[in-house]
Amino acid sequence: MSVRLSVISQVEQVAKEQKKKLAPLSDDLVLLDSGLDSLCFAIIVARLEDALGIDPFSTAEDAGFPVTLGDLIRFYEEAGK
Amino acid sequence: MRNVIVTGGSRGLGLGIVRRLTEAGYRTIAIARKETAQLQSAMEDGERDHHGSLRFVPFDLSRIDEIPRLVKTLRKDFGPIYGLVNNAAVGFDGVLAIMHNSQIEELVRVNTLSPIVLTKYVVRSMMADGGGRIVNVASIIGFTGYSGLSVYGATKASMIGFTRSLAREVGRMGVNVNSVAPGFVDTEMTQKLEDEQRQQIARRSALRRLPDIDDVAHAVEFLLGEQSKSITGTVLTVDAGNTA
């Protein structure tokens, strides 16, 4: 599964588990408006570490979190290179 | 078998907790810098008695940057982590006004920063797995005073504050977070106390004695067990009534 598909499938899976109403997914969707909260993103990061073997947040130099879904996907794609 | 990580599990209170949890049927993962003869004998006992099982993972918890990799390896080797007991700590005492800055820094690094970062990586995997238990070993020194322990006291108070807020943060994800606050227990850490001081502490305690390691280990076991499923964000004091 590509990095993009892994990220999207985790977003959908966690939304389902946490009973969150997910906004339609697109690259310019602002994560804060996605319907998921920060704990959901913590779970997504943990699951993606298991699935992809990487945690770009622990290796990143700055403390920012990606703004849009597209940013999040690119963040993982870059880290996986 | 449920996995429980115990930091500083090779001696003192940590070893007592490790022994208790292994007997209670957990797969206990003791993390410490060095394996000790006592830990080896606890592992042999665990093998023989077939209750739980006990594993040792060598790691220096002051190496904060290595913690993410440690948790990744633990999950890979042992599977989902049910419990985390943040027990490892250093206990330098000394008058603040002349305590070396490097000692102050090490106290904060080992007793506060390291358990917080370790918890960060463990708690999110607990959330992803649907729940878990965290027990932070604080100390009565976190809420009562003792001359010569101001920095140690600060780090232990920090664990109590950490416990309360984290409990609120992760409660809805099925993770319970509590602290145990032991009074003075006879371990290597408290060996510097003179007999006179020890007797004075016992005299001032409601039960006229000091708690022992097993008392504290049972409290930790309780906070990991089914019976405590509705307890979170609290401090369980085990001090023979010293602060009563």
In a domain, B76, yes or no: yes
List CB contacts (< 8 A) between B172 and chain A.
39
Contact A49 B72 (CB under 8 A): yes
Question: How far is it, in rounded angstroms, from Cα B166 to Cα B3?
Answer: 21
Question: How far is it, in rounded angstroms, from Cα B6 to Cα B30?
Answer: 5
Active site residues of B: 152
Contact predicate B92/B99, CB 8 Å: yes
Domain count across chain B: 1
> In whole angstroms, what separates CA B73 from the centre of its chain?
21
Measured over the CA atoms of residue B105, residue B106, residue B111 and residue B114, the dihedral's sign is positive
Phi/psi region, residue A53 (left: phi>0; alpha: psi -120 to 50; beta: rest), is: left
The CA distance from B32 to the nearest CA of chain A, in Å, is 23
Contact B125 A39 (CB under 8 A): no
Contact B127 A47 (CB under 8 A): no
A81 or B113, which is more confident? B113
Q: State which residues form the domain around B53.
A: 3-238
Q: What are phi and psi of B28, to 5 degrees?
A: -95, 130
CA-to-CA separations, A76 to A25, A80, B54, B66, in angstroms, rounded: 17, 6, 36, 21
Of the candidates B68, B72, B127, which has its C-beta nearest A42's C-beta? B127
**CB of B168 less than 8 A from some CB of A:** no
Note the ipTM here.
0.89
In a domain, B177, yes or no: yes
Contact predicate B66/B94, CB 8 Å: no
Residue range B34-57: mean pLDDT, rounded: 85
Contact A42 B124 (CB under 8 A): yes
Task: Give per-residue pLDDT as tens, B49-94.
Answer: 767 899 999 999 999 999 999 999 999 999 999 999 999 999 988 9
Average pLDDT, chain B: 94
Q: Which amino acid is at B168?
A: R
DSSP string, B127-178: HHHT-EEEEEE--GGGTS--TT-HHHHHHHHHHHHHHHHHHHHHGGGTEEEE
**CB of B79 less than 8 A from some CB of A:** no
Tell whether the model's pLDDT for residue A1 goes beyond 90: no
In a domain, B243, yes or no: no
Q: Any idea of the CA torsion for B192, B234, B110, B27, to the nearest 10 degrees?
A: 100
Task: Give per-residue pLDDT as tens, B183-226.
Answer: 999 777 776 777 888 889 999 999 999 999 999 999 999 999 99
% of chain B exceeding 90 in pLDDT: 84
Task: Count A/B contacts: CB-CB distance under 8 Å.
Answer: 23
Closest to A81 in 3D by CA, of A46, A48, A61, A52: A52
In a domain, B60, yes or no: yes
Tell whether the model's pLDDT for residue B115 goes beyond 80: yes
Say how many Å lie between the first and final Cα of chain B, rounded. 37
In a domain, B111, yes or no: yes
Tokens of B137: 């070993």
Mutate which of A14, A36, A37, A39 to disrupt the B interface (most B C-beta within 10 Å)? A39
Residue range A15-27: mean pLDDT, rounded: 96
pLDDT value at residue B92? 87
In this structure, what CATH number is given to the domain that contains residue B108?
A: 3.40.50.720
pLDDT value at residue B50? 67
In a domain, B114, yes or no: yes
Task: Give per-residue pLDDT as tens, A28-77.
Answer: 999 999 999 999 999 999 999 999 999 999 888 888 889 999 999 999 99
Q: What are phi and psi of B57, to 5 degrees?
A: -125, 115
Contact predicate B91/B189, CB 8 Å: yes
pLDDT value at residue B219? 98
Which residue segments constitute the domains of chain A, with CATH numbers given? 3-80 (1.10.1200)
Measured over the CA atoms of residue B3, residue B9, residue B13 and residue B16, the dihedral's sign is positive
Contact predicate B2/B72, CB 8 Å: no
Question: How far is it, in rounded angstroms, from Cα B49 to Cα A20?
Answer: 46
Contact B124 A45 (CB under 8 A): yes
Say what angle helices B114-129 and A38-52 make with each other, to 10 degrees.
Answer: 90
Question: How far is it, in rounded angstroms, from Cα B178 to Cα B166?
Answer: 9
**CB of B172 less than 8 A from some CB of A:** yes
In a domain, B63, yes or no: yes
In a domain, B244, yes or no: no
In chain A, the residue whose alpha carbon lies closest to the alpha carbon of B65 is: A58
